[in-house]
Structure 1
Amino acid sequence: MLQKLAFDVRFKNYSLHSLQKDIISGIVVGIIAIPLGMAFAIASGVKPEYGIYTTIIAGILISLLGGSKYQIGGPTGAFIPILFGIVMAYGFENLLIAGFLAGIILFLMGVFRMGVLIKFIPRPVTIGFTAGIAVIIFFGQIPNFLGLSGVERHEYFYDNLREITIHFHSLNMYSIATAALCLVTVLFTPKLFPKVPGPLIGLVISTLVATYLYPGHVATIGSTYGEIPARLPAFQFPEITLEKIRLLIKPAFIIAILGAIESLLSAVVADGMSGGRHNSNRELMGQGVANMIAPLFGGIPATGAIARTATNIKNGAVSPMSGIIHGLVVLVILVLFAPHASKIPLASMAPILMVVAWNMSEKTVFYNVLKTKTLDSLILVVTFLLTVFVNLTVAVEAGILLAVIIFTKRMSESLVTAKVLPNDNQKLQAVHPQAAADSHDCPQISMYTIEGPLFFGAAQTFEQTILNTINYKPKVLILRLGKVPFMDTTGESHFSSIVKDFSAHGQVLITGIQPGPLELLRKTGLYDFIGGEHFFIHTGDAINFALTHVNKSECVGCKHFAFRECATLSAIKQKAGEQRKALI
C-alpha cells in the first residue's frame, strides 16, 4: 500500500535531470532545516535533538506519503506554545503520546475526506492565533537573547514577562553580542547572497566567535542540554492507556487541527508558486502517518513548513524526492557533526526564532483586517489576545464560536420578507414591494416575497413579520419562496406555524420553491398538509388560482385595483383583454 501511495502521478515523467534538481533543492532545504529544528525543539521545552529527529523521520514520511509534490514537513513555530504547554503540564513522555494520538486523528481526517473542512475556519481566526503565536515565540526568546540567568519558563505569557522583568539585571553582554551578530547575519545574508541559508551562516559565525573570543561566557546547547547523540534513538512504543488517552485527547486534537491547518495552508502556497494542485485528504493521511511514526523515535509533532516549502520550490524542486533528500541530508549531518552542535550558544538560536516569529506574524494582513473596524476585526483581536494571554485551545474555540455567532447574525439580517403586488407600470407586471400600499392592496389576497435562508437565526423574525401584517385575515396567502436557498428544521417549524395558523380560515399558496426546501417540507409532512395543488412554479398561476377563490361580492366597489382583474370584479371597468403572462 505504501508503495502505491508513494509512486504515483507526483513522479510522472521523472528523469535523471529531475533527480539532480531535487538533490540540489533537498540539500539546501536540509541545511536550513537543521538550525530551525533545534530551535523549535528548544522553544518547545524539549532537547534540541528531538527537533532533528522530527525533521528526519516526519520530513521523509510527509514527502513520501503526503498529497503535495513540494511539501517540506517538520517541526514548526506554530506548535511551540502548544507543545511547551503540554510538556509543562504532562511531561515529555505524554507529549509523545499526544503526538501519536494527533497522528491518528489526522489520518482519520484524511480517510473521511475532511480536508475541505479546514477552509471553513474563518481567516480572522487563523490570522489572530498565528500572530498570537508569533508574539509568544518572540518574547520567549528575549531571555536567551539577553543571556538572563535564573529565568524559569512558565506556561502563561504574563508569567514569562514577569520573569524577564525580575531577572533583567542579570543580562549578559557576551550573549547580547553573540545574538546581535547572529541576527545581523540572518538579516543581511539573504540580501547579499540570496542562495546562502542565513540561519546556518548566522549560527556558524556566532558560534565560532563565541567559542574562540570569549569561551565559557555564554550558555550553549551542550552546557544546558548535554551533547547531541550522533544517531537516531532506538524504536520505543509509548505506553498508551485508556486513562492517558482521556487525559491527552484534547491537546492531541488541538495538535491535529493546527497541524491540518498549517499543512494545508503550506500546500496551497506551494500550489500558488508551482501551478500544481495538491490532494488535501491524502496530505492529511500522510501527515497522520508521519506523526504516528515520529514519536516512536522521540520525534515531536510535525506539519508542513511554509517557509521551507517555498524555499524548496525556489531552489528548483521537481517532486517529493527533494523532501526525502532533505531528511536524509539532516540524518547525515547528525551522524557526522552532532558533537559540534553542542557548542552552539543559546543566544545564537534566539534571533533565528525571533526572525521566524516576525515573518509568521502576518503583520500586514493583521493590520488590514484591523483597520476595517468590522466584526471581523473583533474576531481577530479576541483570538489574538486569548492566544497570547490564555492559550491556543481557548483562542481557537472562542474565535470560531464568535465567528459563528456573527455569521448567524449577518445571515438572519439578510432574510427579507416583503409584501408585494404586480407592478402595473412594467410590461410583464413583475411583482414589486413598492406596488403594495394602503391605497393599493387586496383585502382578500396577501402576497409576500421571502429572500434569504430560512434558518434558526431568522425563523422567528420571519414568522412575526408575516403574522403581524396579515392580522386582517385575508382569504389567500401567497408565499414566493424562489429566493430561499436553504431551510432548516427550525425555519420549517416557524413556517409550519404560519401555514397552520392561516389555514384555519384561508388558503396558503406556495410559488417557486427550490428543491432543498421542498424536500424538507415533504419529509415533515407539511407538503401534504398544504396540498400539492397549492404549489406553483410561477406566481401568475398562483394569482389566477387565488382570484377564483375570493369572495366576489366583496370585490364589488373595491377601489384598490391590486390586480388587473380587479377592474372587472369591481364592475367599474371592462375585463382585461389578454391572458395573464407568467410571473417569475
Structure 2
Amino acid sequence: MLLLSHFNRKTIKGDIFGALTSTIVALPFALAFGVTSGAGASAGIYCAILTGLFASLFGGTNQQISGPNTGLTVAMVAILTSFVAQSPENGIAAAFTVVSLAGLFQMLFGFFKLGKYFILVSYPVISGFTSGIGVLIILSQIEPLFGQPLPQLQWSLSELTNTLTSTNTLLGLACLLVLFVWPQKLSRVVPASIIAVAGATMFYVFSGVDMEVVGAISSELPSFNMPVWDNALASEMINSALLIATLSTLDSLMTSLTVDSITNELHDSDQELVGQGVGNIVAGLFGALPGGGATMRTVTNLRAGGTTPLSGILHALFILAIVLWAGEYTAYIPIAVLAAILTHVGISIIDWNFLKRIHQIPLFSVGLMISTMVMSVAFDLVTAVLIGVFLANLVTIRRLSEIQLDNIKLYTAKNAEHLSPAEMELLQAMDDSVLLLNISGPIGFGVARGLKQSVSESDQNKALLIDLTDANFVGVTSTIAIEEIIISYQNQGRDILLSSVCERVRNDFNKLKVLDRIAPKHIFATRLEALTYLKSNQPI
C-alpha cells in the first residue's frame, strides 16, 4: 500500500518523467483496446485511469503501471458478445458487473495469500497461452484492416486487389510497417505508436478521405453504474469473472517479476492482487474494461525514472487530464491505425523465440506449448491454461516421483554400504534376517505405490526396520502406504520397527495415528539403537 515515505524529493522527478513517458506509450493502446472490445474508446481510457490509480495506491509493486491489455481485451470481447446475445437488455451491464466481480475475486486471492501459486506455471504453458492471445488479437483485427471478418475472406482476384488498394487498408498497412521499422533508439524518445497515430490522424485531416474514426471522447466523467445480477447468466458470470481475475492476476504478477529482475527488489504478490482487485472493482462500476499490470508500460516507466507508486498515480492523472481537455481530438484518429497497433502487438507477443528453437526442445514441452496455443484460439483461455497446467503438473509429478523413488532403498547385510561400521557389524551378525527400508529426503504421494511395491517384492519372512534418518517430509499418501506395510507385517506375525523419526514426520504420523500401530519399544531414536535391539532379541 502507498506510504507517505514514497513522497520525497529524491524520487519525485523520476516519477514525473516516468509517468509522462508511460502515458505517451499507454494512450494509443488504451484507445485501441477500448475500440476492439466493442465497449468504446472511453472504456479503454478509463480502464487505464482507474486501474492505474487504484493498483498504484493499494498494490505491492512500486513501479507497476496498470491498464487494459491483450488477454483481458480478448476475453472481454467474448464476454460482451455472449452476454448481449443472451440478454439484450442486461447484457452490457452484466458484463461490467463481471469486471467488478473479478476484482473481488482478485482481492480474495490476495487475502488468502494465493499470489505465489499463480506464478508456478511452466514456461511452455505461458508461451502457448501468450502466443494464443497473439493469434486471437491478429484474427480480431482482420476486419478493421481489410473490411471483412475472417469467415468471409473469399475474395476473387479483383476483390483482393480492390481491398488491398483501399485507402483504409493501405493506411493500416503503412502504419504497421512504421511500427516494425521505427528504430528502437528513437522509440525511447518518441514511441512508434505515437508516430503512427499522429501520421494517420494528419493524413485523415488533410486528405479529406472518408474513413472510419474513433470518435470524440466525452469530457464528462463516466457515470456510476450499479452492478446487475442476471440469474439467467449467473453461471456464466461467475466463470467469466474467474477468467478475468485469473488473466489479470497472471499479467500483473508476471509484470511484477519482470520489475523484480530489473530492480533487484521483491514485490508483494498478495498486496499486488489486492490493489489490482480494487482497481477492477472500481473499473467495472464505471463501465471501464478490466485491467492488469502492463509489462511494456511498466518497463517504460521504470526506464524513464519511475521508482515509487507515485509514478503510477501520476500516469493515471495525466491520462485523465488529456481526456478532459483533449478528448475531442480522438474524433480524427482512424480506426485503421489502432488495428495496426494491435496487429503489431499480436505479432510481437507470439513467442517466436520458443518457436525458432522448437527442434531443440523436448517433444512434450513442444506439444504442451502448441496444444495450449491451439486451445486458446479454438476454445477459451481458461480451458487452455487449466488443461496445460494439469498436463504439466502430471509430468512434473511423475518426474519428481522417479527422483524420490531413488530415495527409497531396501538393504540387507549384503548391500548396506552406507551404514557405519558398528551398524554394518550388527546387521551382518544377524545373518541376513533383517530388511532395512531406508527413506530419505521428501517423499510425496507419487511414490506411495513404489514404496509398497519395493517391500512386497522382498522376503517378508524377515524383520523389517523402517529407517527415517534422512526423511524430512512424508506426504499423507506415503504415510498411509507405510501404515499398510506395518499392518501387513504385523498380520504375518513379523517384527516391524521404526527409527529416527524427526519431529515433523512424527507429528504427521500422529495425526493419522500411525505410531499407535507400533509398540513404543519398537520405535527408536537412532538406527543403531534399533539394530542393537534386533540383535539382542534375535532367536538363538
Task: Give the TM-score normalised by the residue count of structure 2.
Answer: 0.89
Match of 1:408 among 387, 397, 404: 397
Residue 321 (1) aligns with residue 314 (2): no
Residue deviations 1:305-329, cap 9 Å, x none?
A: 0100000011111321221111122
Distance 1:88 1:71 in 2: 30
- The CA deviation at 1:165 is 4.5
Distance 1:396 1:287 in 2: 21
Residue deviations 1:441-496, cap 9 Å, x none?
A: 9442111223455444321232122012124x11x111222344433333222211
Residue deviations 1:399-434, cap 9 Å, x none?
A: 1211222122223322133322466988943989xx
Residue 529 (1) aligns with residue 522 (2): no
Change (3 A) 1:424 1:446: closer
In the other structure, the counterpart of 1:335 is 324
Distance 2:354 2:55 in 1: 29
Distance 1:430 1:348 in 2: 81
Residue 429 (1) aligns with residue 428 (2): no
Counterpart residue type for residue 523 of structure 1: K
Match of 1:32 among 25, 42, 64: 25
- The CA deviation at 1:251 is 1.0
Task: Give the TM-score normalised by the residue count of structure 1.
Answer: 0.83
In the other structure, the counterpart of 1:200 is 194
In the other structure, the counterpart of 1:559 is none
Distance 1:165 1:19 in 2: 56
- The CA deviation at 1:283 is 1.0
Residue deviations 1:31-67, cap 9 Å, x none?
A: 2211100111222232112101111122111112211
Residue deviations 1:327-374, cap 9 Å, x none?
A: 122112212222221222222112211222233223324555773215
Counterpart residue type for residue 102 of structure 2: A
Matched residue pairs, number? 522
Work out whether residues 190 and 196 of structure 1, in 8 Å CA contact, stay in contact via their aligned partners in 2: no
Match of 1:221 among 205, 214, 218: 214
In the other structure, the counterpart of 2:486 is 499
Work out whether residues 179 and 350 of structure 1, in 8 Å CA contact, stay in contact via their aligned partners in 2: yes
Change (3 A) 1:378 1:10: farther
In the other structure, the counterpart of 1:154 is none
Residue deviations 1:55-104, cap 9 Å, x none?
A: 11221111122111111010011212211111111133222011000010
Change (3 A) 1:542 1:367: farther
Distance 1:63 1:551 in 2: 75
In the other structure, the counterpart of 2:184 is 190
In the other structure, the counterpart of 2:500 is 512
Matches within 5 A, 1:142-291: 142-145=142-145, 147-149=146-148, 151=149, 160=150, 162-165=151-154, 169=160, 171-173=163-165, 174-187=167-180, 188-192=182-186, 194-213=188-207, 215-216=209-210, 218-222=211-215, 227-240=216-229, 244-291=233-280
Match of 1:6 among 2, 5, 10: 2
Counterpart residue type for residue 292 of structure 2: T
In the other structure, the counterpart of 1:376 is 365
Distance 1:527 1:546 in 2: 19
In the other structure, the counterpart of 2:476 is 489
Distance 2:374 2:97 in 1: 29
Matches within 5 A, 1:333-372: 333-365=322-354, 367-368=356-357, 371-372=360-361
Work out whether residues 445 and 477 of structure 1, in 8 Å CA contact, stay in contact via their aligned partners in 2: yes
In the other structure, the counterpart of 1:126 is 126
Which ranges of structure 2 fall in alignment gaps of 5 or more residues? 85-91
In the other structure, the counterpart of 1:581 is none
Of structures 1 and 2, the one scoring higher in RCO (CA 8 A, sep 6+) is: 2
Counterpart residue type for residue 507 of structure 1: D
Work out whether residues 375 and 406 of structure 1, in 8 Å CA contact, stay in contact via their aligned partners in 2: no
Work out whether residues 97 and 284 of structure 2, in 8 Å CA contact, stay in contact via their aligned partners in 1: yes
Distance 1:166 1:289 in 2: 48
SS at match of 1:278: coil
SS at match of 1:466: helix
In the other structure, the counterpart of 1:292 is 281
Counterpart residue type for residue 118 of structure 1: F
Counterpart residue type for residue 163 of structure 1: Q
Match of 1:544 among 519, 532, 539: 532
Residue deviations 1:117-163, cap 9 Å, x none?
A: 22323332222211111111123223323x324x3xxxxxxxx4x33
Identical-residue share of aligned pairs (%): 25
Residue 66 (1) aligns with residue 59 (2): yes
Which ranges of structure 1 fall in alignment gaps of 5 or more residues? 152-159, 553-584
Work out whether residues 130 and 350 of structure 2, in 8 Å CA contact, stay in contact via their aligned partners in 1: yes
In the other structure, the counterpart of 1:563 is none
Counterpart residue type for residue 100 of structure 1: S
- Using the TM superposition, name which of 204-213 and 101-110 deviates more: 204-213
Counterpart residue type for residue 510 of structure 2: R
Work out whether residues 421 and 431 of structure 1, in 8 Å CA contact, stay in contact via their aligned partners in 2: no
Residue 310 (1) aligns with residue 299 (2): yes
- The CA deviation at 1:257 is 1.3
SS at match of 1:481: strand
Counterpart residue type for residue 111 of structure 1: F
Distance 1:492 1:25 in 2: 55
Residue deviations 1:252-294, cap 9 Å, x none?
A: 0111111111111111211222233322111111111110111
Work out whether residues 49 and 320 of structure 2, in 8 Å CA contact, stay in contact via their aligned partners in 1: yes
Distance 2:423 2:147 in 1: 75
In the other structure, the counterpart of 1:465 is 454
Distance 2:170 2:205 in 1: 13
Work out whether residues 25 and 315 of structure 1, in 8 Å CA contact, stay in contact via their aligned partners in 2: yes
In the other structure, the counterpart of 2:88 is none
Residue deviations 1:196-247, cap 9 Å, x none?
A: 122112111022123323511x33224xxxx432332222222235665443
Residue 44 (1) aligns with residue 37 (2): yes
Change (3 A) 1:340 1:108: same
Work out whether residues 33 and 68 of structure 2, in 8 Å CA contact, stay in contact via their aligned partners in 1: yes
Distance 2:434 2:221 in 1: 82
Match of 1:477 among 450, 455, 464: 464
Work out whether residues 412 and 432 of structure 2, in 8 Å CA contact, stay in contact via their aligned partners in 1: no
Work out whether residues 410 and 454 of structure 2, in 8 Å CA contact, stay in contact via their aligned partners in 1: no
- The CA deviation at 1:302 is 0.5
Work out whether residues 429 and 535 of structure 2, in 8 Å CA contact, stay in contact via their aligned partners in 1: no
Residue 21 (1) aligns with residue 14 (2): yes
Change (3 A) 1:275 1:165: farther
- Using the TM superposition, name which of 450-459 and 107-116 deviates more: 450-459
Change (3 A) 1:203 1:468: same
